[in-house]
A and B are shown apart, each in its own frame.
Chain A
């Protein structure tokens, strides 16, 4: 029971950190607030019993934070010169509204069927309460025999739902290709290295 309040406090911390990240005038404080929100999310993952997700979240957060701090520190001017106040206030108001609607639905305000199941009893693993035939119970029961993997998360990610994982890998591959394409274009049109190759810039 105390776990719910701890998680709620962490979510409030994440909300405050995200607001600071949006509203801060200095880019470095904004980046650090974003990192604080990410680490709070990884702690929530750990409390909810998802170590796979927590490991990935922490590692990605560290690399992204180092990269962003590096980028911010090498910039000469780290202050936001043109604050778009109207757009930013609109974004914050929109996010607050979405959060309110989500909370309204979660506590069952829009009818009893939308109510959130009690903590620790997810709806998908309860055959009686689920509107459709649940699959997660089957996964947990059959994964060790069918795949031989002791970690059920990996059994789902790379065996039962491997098609999704292939899509995610494709997304990462294409985005990194796009990054190379953008950086290559600028590098080729300027500097001595581009002129040595002699390729005409498109």
Chain B
């Protein structure tokens, strides 16, 4: 527990893999309207990359990379973005109306506002879960420090 993080093998594997996990999460969210997946699953995958970094490198290194105020800001930005997508529907007629052109079925640029809403949910869920995990890790450190 005194040594920060896990062994060298775990750290190097984490360096190699974390980027791919994050890209896969974004891919799952952005292609949610043409294949299984969606913003929620993609956001959780993105947060799991942060969880991997926190577990492998220890709390202190990870707390410099992903700080709690950043997570608060992105979490709130995602939530407000989803609400903005809902409110922009008033341009066409009402709450949550599809205000963008639907495009060609099966292509990436299709579905109107659905990919935009997926992107907002991706940011919201990813930042929220990552921030919760970082907050739990820091909380554990403060309680341990108080006991010692």
Q: Digit string of A156-200 for contact with B (CB within 8 Å is 1, else 0)? A: 011100110110011011001001100100110011010000000
Contact of B110 with A186 in the complex, beta carbons under 8 Å: no
Interface residues of A in 49-96 (CB under 8 A from B): 51-52, 54-56, 59-60, 62-63, 66-67, 70-71, 74
Once bound together, how far apart are the Cα atoms of A183 and B138, in whole Å?
Answer: 9
A56 and B55 in contact (CB under 8 A), knowing A147-B114, A187-B139?
Answer: no
Residues of B contacting A190 in the complex (Cβ-Cβ under 8 angstroms): 142-143, 145-146
Interface size class, chain B = 35 or more
What is the size, in residues, of chain A's interface with B at 8 Å between Cβ atoms? Answer: 44
Once bound together, how far apart are the Cα atoms of A165 and B37, in whole Å?
Answer: 15
Residues of B contacting A52 in the complex (Cβ-Cβ under 8 angstroms): 36-38, 41
Contact of A148 with B103 in the complex, beta carbons under 8 Å: yes
Contact of B95 with A163 in the complex, beta carbons under 8 Å: yes
The one of A51, A59, A172, A187 that contacts B124, using a Cβ cutoff of 8 Å: A172
Residues of B contacting A154 in the complex (Cβ-Cβ under 8 angstroms): 32-33, 38, 111, 114, 118
Answer yes or no: A144 CB below 8 A from chain B CBs. yes
Answer yes or no: B10 CB below 8 A from chain A CBs. no
* B106 and chain A: residue at smallest CB distance: A150
Once bound together, how far apart are the Cα atoms of A157 and B35, in whole Å?
Answer: 14
Contact of B48 with A59 in the complex, beta carbons under 8 Å: yes
Contact of B44 with A60 in the complex, beta carbons under 8 Å: yes
Q: Digit string of B115-148 for contact with A (CB within 8 Å is 1, else 0)? A: 0011001001100110111011011101101100
Contact of B41 with A56 in the complex, beta carbons under 8 Å: yes
Q: Digit string of A133-148 for contact with B (CB within 8 Å is 1, else 0)? A: 0000000000010111
The one of A54, A59, A150, A191 that contacts B145, using a Cβ cutoff of 8 Å: A191
Q: Digit string of B98-114 for contact with A (CB within 8 Å is 1, else 0)? A: 10011111100011111
Please give the distance in Å from A42's CB to the nearest CB on chain B: 12
Contact of A148 with B96 in the complex, beta carbons under 8 Å: no
Once bound together, how far apart are the Cα atoms of A96 and B135, in whole Å?
Answer: 38
Complex A-B, nearest 3 residue pairs according to Cβ-Cβ distance, in ascending order:
A148-B102, A51-B36, A149-B111
Binding site for A on B (CB under 8 A): 28, 32-38, 40-41, 44-45, 47-48, 51, 55, 68, 72, 75, 79, 82-83, 86, 95-96, 98, 101-106, 110-114, 117-118, 121, 124-125, 128-129, 131-133, 135-136, 138-140, 142-143, 145-146
A sample of 20 cross-chain residue pairs with beta-carbon separation below 8 angstroms, ordered by A number, consists of A59-B41, A60-B44, A66-B55, A67-B133, A146-B98, A148-B111, A149-B110, A150-B34, A154-B32, A154-B114, A155-B111, A158-B33, A163-B95, A166-B83, A166-B96, A169-B79, A172-B124, A179-B135, A186-B139, A191-B146
Known: A147-B112, A159-B114. 5 other contacts (CB 8 A): A52-B37, A147-B98, A148-B103, A159-B113, A176-B131
